[in-house]
């Protein structure tokens, strides 16, 4: 089986999505990007805004600015 660059990117995104969703579940106040990276054991050093925007529709991600920080959290169901 040949693993293409496209498949690698898709796999990386799917893993990112799972880690973000798991880290944010049950957290009412949300997490900053640094907190989310630590709790979700996310190895990305920089945020991919395209992926973050995609998570808004896929898992109900919201991002809320409070002061100088942006908090990531899941929409209340």
> In this predicted model, what pLDDT tens digit does every residue of 23-44 receive, in sequence order?
999 888 999 999 999 999 998 8
What's the predicted TM-score (pTM) here? 0.85
Backbone angles phi, psi at 72, to 5 degrees: -95, 135
Partnered with residue 71 across adjacent β-strands are 64
5-74 to CATH, choices 1.10.10, 3.30.70, 1.10.1070, 1.20.1260 = 1.10.10
Q: Could you tell me which residues come within 8 angstroms of residue 39 by beta carbon, excluding any fewer than 6 positions away?
A: 23, 31
Mean pLDDT over each residue of the chain, to the nearest integer: 90
| Domain spans in the chain, listed from the N-terminal domain onward | 5-74
């Amino acid at each position: 089986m040949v693993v293409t660059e496209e498949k690698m990117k898709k796999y990386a995104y799917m893993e990112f999505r799972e880690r973000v969703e798991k880290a944010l579940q049950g957290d009412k106040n949300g997490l900053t990007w640094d907190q989310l990276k630590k709790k979700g054991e996310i190895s990305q050093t920089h945020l991919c805004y395209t992926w973050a925007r995609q998570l808004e529709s896929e898992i109900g991600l919201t991002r809320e600015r409070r002061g100088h920080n942006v908090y990531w959290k899941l929409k209340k169901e």
